[in-house]
Chains A and B, each alone.
Chain A
Amino acid sequence: MLISISWRNVWRNKFRSIIIMAAVAIGLTAGIFMTSFYRGMANQRIEKAIRTDIAHIQIHHNKFRENNDINLFIPEALKKAADIRGFDSVKGAAVRIISYSVIASAETSTGIKISGINPEQEIEVTEIQNRITEGTYLNEGKRNPILISSALAEKLMVKLGSKVILTMQDINNSIVSGAFRITGIYDTKTDSFDESNVFVNYRDISLLLSLPSGAAHEIAVRVTDNEHVTDVYDKLHSEYNRLEIVTWSELSPELWFLTEGMNFLMYVLFVIILLALLFGLVNTMLMVVLERTREIGILMAVGMNKVRIFLMIVLESVFLALTGGISGVVGGTIISKYFETHKIDLSIMGNAVKDMGFDTLVNTSVDVRLLIIVTILVIITGILGSLFPAYRALKNNPSETIRTE
């Protein structure tokens, strides 16, 4: 009956209760939508980076990332990649030869990173083949094909079919050069990446650098689902303990910070919303206790003990917060779920969004864990908001309050 009394008490002053509930509901709806929006945006950004280049996990010689020395290769990388493809939750594994070199056209030259890839394997790991705007993906039939971005093509003043010269050091520290023909032009829409990355065939570059057969500098591993990155990482770690295994969050700390920093900001946002709720609740509950001084005195007189009085007020406050809170969570979820399948167009904000590497069409992403945490926080806020008013109520002296008319 205590629960029923508290619940009915909430509706005694409908107008006041609805105002505070509406405030909570609107705050949380907006908060949840904002969170889902930013989460969606960040996820898209990360997903894009994972799909275009870095994959989920990379394997290198344990010194390679420090000095990018051409001699620090993974022996028998092709065989290892084949083994890894057989692991649970692995979608693909692709070998890459990495070389920093100079690319020269008839007009000009610039420093770039060459990735010598196995085209079939790479398709399973990244989506560079989907970003081709002209020509074809690395063509096995032709001799020394090269894939460059439209941004780089512009810079070098070359076009599809043009010849470029790559100059680099081989494993014997001799300078070697090779002529490559542009068979494809790509565009990932991330200028910083596009201007410094070219792709050639694994076999061509391997010969040029005189690498031992089957060796590579990098094995990029794509996992079926983000959730499984840790499992696969652990497995790789135990299998290849002499190699360096790194996940996308280490490879690209700025992306990791994007999600973590965003999460942190979102929690700050919710704390602010809930603090506002807390003050509103304390105010409302103090009014309630004051209005019902006499009634509470009567309840004490007829035998309702202090624990029950306290609980009655706490419950009323929790109901008040939770009714608004649940409406807000439901409202926020409905709106966010809608935009999970309907894109929000940010092109109105111009190139700023694009320049930061974000898509201009954003889908929200609802974090169920956050919804649960928010609901729990609302309940805690409801309890906190009632403690002082409930304490005040207990200070009532029945004989004095009953007399108050």
Chain B
Amino acid sequence: MAIIEIKDLSKIYDGSQIEVRAVDGINLSFEKGEFTAIVGPSGSGKTTFLNLLGGLDDPTTGEVIVDGVNIGNLSAGRIIDFRLRNIGFIFQAYNLIPVLSAEENVEFIMELQGKTKKERKERSNELLEAVGLAERKSSRPAKLSGGQQQRVAVARALASKPKFVLADEPTANLDSRSAENLLEIMEKLNKDENITFIFSTHDPRVVRKARRIITLEDGKVLNDEIRLN
């Protein structure tokens, strides 16, 4: 059973002169436990597609159905709560809360969910352990390297036990060693905990690890390839 169903999804931006079809009639579905890369040249609609998938943007037409819920029908307030409980986000520029330590950044999501302090501590320790940052848990983002920050971001994205994780170019700002390391962690979490990852990327190293590669061009699906590693 698919956890995400996308039906005839379009996003059209009305520019002053021309309309831009950033996403143009996409039909796709994603299964639990996928490790999928969305690839394509700049401007092919990868980020817009992920934003629509994460409910950060409203589609012009079409539907995104997550676990049977059409997220386009949710009110502005409900969609925030829906994201909180169902979707993990990893951004290209890490985007951690600068005034919170690594541990607090991870716990923050759980606090928004109303988890008890004990639950939060346990889960954040477990996740920071998994991303190899247990000993840096009290550091604030400014004291961490880019790779370390992105690993905290991975831990944060998983803190809420989401149905899937969306990562927009997660390795774009990282050097190759950090990128490699991050990918290994993501892959391990995917395999061990059956967490669904969908990421947009330019990075051939990421593409290599993906088990499904969806290629976009001009907002359309050019190719959808499933690989058996």
Contact = CB atoms under 8 A, between A and B. Distances in A.
Nearest to A2: B111
Chain A interface residue bracket vs B: 20 to 34
Contacts of A1: 100, 104, 107-108, 111
Interface residues of B, number: 29
Interface stretch (A296-304, A317-325, A334-342): A296-304
A308 interface: yes
Contacts of B77: 305-306
Nearest to B160: A303
A303 B104 contact: no
B99 A12 contact: yes
A9 B99 contact: yes
B45 to A, nearest CB: 13
B110 to A, nearest CB: 10
Interface stretch (B78-86, B182-190, B219-227): B78-86
A405 B95 CA distance: 11
Interface in A168-203: none
Given A1-B104, A399-B51, A399-B56, A302 B99 contact: no
A398 interface: yes
B84 A398 contact: no
Given A1-B108, A402-B91, A403-B47, A301 B56 contact: yes
Contacts of A399: 51, 56-57
Contacts of A303: 80-81, 83-85, 109, 112-113, 160
A88 interface: no
A9 B97 CA distance: 10
Interface in B110-130: 111-113
A8 interface: yes
- Chain B interface SS verdict (over half): helix
Contacts of B111: 1
A310 to B, nearest CB: 12
A1 B111 CA distance: 8
B98 interface: yes
Contact of A302 (B98, B107, B156): B156
Contact of A5 (B47, B80, B100): B100
B197 interface: no
B99 A5 contact: yes
Nearest to A8: B99
A34 B81 CA distance: 51
Nearest to B82: A303
Contact of B56 (A8, A299, A305, A402): A402
Nearest to A398: B56
Interface in A273-317: 294-295, 298-306, 308
Given A304-B112, A398-B56, 5 more contacts: A5-B99, A298-B91, A303-B80, A399-B51, A403-B47
Interface of A: 1, 5, 8-9, 12, 294-295, 298-306, 308, 398-399, 402-403, 405
